[in-house]
């Protein structure tokens, strides 16, 4: 299956989880849907945190009722966590639930309380020695079922679990949490520039996996100059290209389409940061966000920055700071900023240490009304003001 097909299937199921789930399952296929859903539960289960599984692997079958029958898929929690189609030779426990119900719980709006009709069949404990492995089974099943509920870890915790430096080396995650939390349950398209791991094709992807976990309904696209196809998984797509290449930047819109969140964690070289913003802010949907990380490099000569030419728009911070004037373009008097598309669609700019977050929307509130004085009032003028509120109270007889 091509990466695009896989990406299309998962996106179709995410969108259908709130709508015609049955039709989407028929289009994607019941077996493929089961594989995606069980895979997602395995991802969300953090099974590496259950001790002892490398000695005693645990197998859990899923019997997913659909169309008068059941699709069977199974998860194996051992040294690694895996999942496979079909029934296992022997299962320690079996989870029974409707395929459509599971789809709604996994890819629907995650405020749902989980599956109402989920049943667990435990294997029989034949002797007391089997009791300890039964506790393992319990812990594995408990964690697999957790993925159907609205239980969720915060972003700093997910950063630690996935080995991302977005908390601990940098302290971005609390800022992200503030801006991202209202979007968490939406079926988003997220693009992160810079996957990590540099020339090692198997390394990197820590933050892609963190975003996947934080946003349970999002499809995450990572972009890197190196081939990172080995890191693809359902809901994680990778694109190879050089962010210094204007033709590649221009092609990203076609490849990915409209975007809800862009996170620039790429080369951090000032000309690349500026070129990426120029090309990609336009691709962000209204209500979306554009984030630039590691802005310390804007002050470093080795990255095309400068600690002296701090307002030079050739540096990342020099360029981004100027956007604030565009944000306020409707307040300017003669000689102010002539608004371009960025100024007309920028609705917020938030600067933190080494991090900036920009809101996309419609920046056309109109200028302040003409009756608001354009020169500072004198004390006497302020004293002479008859405040409308008092008049109103007098009129209403209070
Ligand atoms: C800091 S790492 C990304 C880390 C990742 N976002 C995370 O938080 O886990 C930067 C990545 O950007 C990639 N990169 C550097 N220059 C690039 C360029 N010109 N175009 C595309 N990717 C580039 C590197 O290969 C590296 O993998």
Question: 331: which DSSP letter?
Answer: G
pLDDT at 276 over 70: yes
Range of the domain at 115: 3-146
Beta carbon of 194 within 6 Å of any ligand 1 atom:
yes
307 bridge partner residues? none
Q: Which of 195, 207, 270 has most ligand 1 atoms within 8 Å of its beta carbon, as the pocket-test mutant? A: 195
pLDDT at 125: 58
Task: Please report the atom of ligand 1 found closest to the CA of residue 196.
Answer: 27
Using the mean position of ligand 1's atoms as its centre, give its distance from the Cα of residue 295 in Å.
Answer: 14
Q: Residue 293 region, left (φ>0) first, then alpha (ψ -120 to 50), else beta?
A: beta
pLDDT at 380: 95
Same-domain status, 186 and 311? yes
Rounded CA-CA distance 98/95 in Å is 10
- Residue 133's pLDDT band (cuts 50, 70, 90): low
In a domain, 319, yes or no: yes
- Residue 115's pLDDT band (cuts 50, 70, 90): confident
Using the mean position of ligand 1's atoms as its centre, give its distance from the Cα of residue 267 in Å.
Answer: 6
Same-domain status, 211 and 337? yes
pLDDT at 136: 85
pLDDT at 3: 59
Q: Which of 194, 270, 271, 275 has most ligand 1 atoms within 8 Å of its beta carbon, as the pocket-test mutant? A: 194
Same-domain status, 139 and 159? no
257, 274, 275, 362, 364 from 347: Cα distances, Å = 21, 19, 20, 7, 9
Q: How many domains does the chain have?
A: 2
pLDDT at 168 over 90: no
Domain of residue 292, CATH code: 3.40.50.150
Q: Which of 23, 92, 36, 27 is nearest to 64 (CA)?
A: 36
Mean pLDDT of the chain: 92
Q: List, by residue number, the catalytic residues.
A: 268
Same-domain status, 125 and 202? no
Beta carbon of 264 within 6 Å of any ligand 1 atom:
no
Domain of residue 12, CATH code: 3.30.1050.30
pLDDT, mean of residues 83-88: 97
Same-domain status, 9 and 91? yes
pLDDT at 394: 41
Separation of CA 169 from chain center:
20
Using the mean position of ligand 1's atoms as its centre, give its distance from the Cα of residue 222 in Å.
Answer: 9
pLDDT at 110: 67
Q: List, for residues 190-244, the tens digit of each pLDDT value.
A: 999 999 999 999 999 999 999 999 999 999 999 999 999 999 999 999 999 999 9
In a domain, 379, yes or no: no
Beta carbon of 222 within 6 Å of any ligand 1 atom:
no
Same-domain status, 230 and 276? yes
Rounded CA-CA distance 140/354 in Å is 40
pLDDT, mean of residues 131-147: 86
Same-domain status, 262 and 113? no
């Amino acid at each position: 299956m091509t990466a695009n097909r896989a990406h299309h299937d998962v996106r179709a199921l995410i969108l259908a989880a709130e709508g015609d789930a049955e039709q989407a399952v028929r289009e994607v296929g019941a077996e493929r849907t089961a594989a995606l859903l069980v895979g997602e539960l395995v991802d969300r289960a953090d099974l590496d945190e259950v001790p002892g599984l490398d000695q005693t692997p645990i197998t859990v079958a899923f019997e997913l009722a659909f169309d008068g029958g059941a699709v069977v898929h199974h998860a194996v929690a051992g040294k690694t966590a895996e999942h496979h189609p079909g029934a296992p030779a022997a299962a320690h426990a079996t989870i029974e639930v409707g395929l459509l119900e599971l789809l709604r719980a996994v890819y629907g709006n995650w405020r749902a309380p989980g599956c109402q009709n989920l049943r667990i069949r435990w294997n029989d404990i034949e002797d007391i020695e089997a009791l300890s492995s039964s506790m393992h089974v319990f812990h594995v099943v408990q964690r697999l079922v957790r993925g159907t509920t609205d239980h969720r870890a915060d972003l700093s915790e997910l950063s630690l679990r996935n080995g991302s430096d977005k908390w601990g080396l940098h302290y971005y995650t609390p800022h992200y949490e503030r801006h991202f939390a209202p979007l968490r349950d939406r079926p988003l398209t997220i693009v992160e520039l810079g996957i990590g791991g540099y020339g090692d094709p198997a390394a990197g992807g820590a933050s892609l996996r963190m975003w996947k976990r934080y946003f349970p309904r999002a499809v995450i696209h990572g972009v890197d100059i190196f081939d990172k196809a080995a890191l693809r998984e359902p809901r994680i797509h990778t694109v190879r290209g050089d962010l210094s290449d204007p033709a590649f930047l221009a092609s990203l819109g076609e490849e990915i389409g409209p975007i809800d969140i862009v996170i620039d964690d790429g080369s951090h070289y000032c000309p690349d940061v500026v070129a990426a913003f120029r090309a990609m802010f336009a691709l962000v949907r209204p209500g979306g966000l554009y984030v630039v990380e590691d802005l310390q490099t804007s002050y470093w000569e080795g990255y095309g920055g400068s600690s002296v030419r701090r307002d030079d728009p050739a540096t990342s911070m020099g360029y981004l700071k100027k956007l604030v004037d565009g944000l306020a373009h409707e307040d300017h008097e003669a000689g102010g900023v002539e608004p371009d598309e960025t100024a007309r669609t920028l609705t917020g700019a938030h600067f933190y240490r080494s991090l900036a977050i920009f809101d996309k929307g419609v920046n056309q509130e109109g200028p302040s009304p003409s009756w608001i004085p354009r020169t500072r009032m004198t004390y006497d003028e302020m004293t002479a003001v008859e405040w409308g509120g008092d008049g109103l109270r007098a009129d209403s007889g209070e």
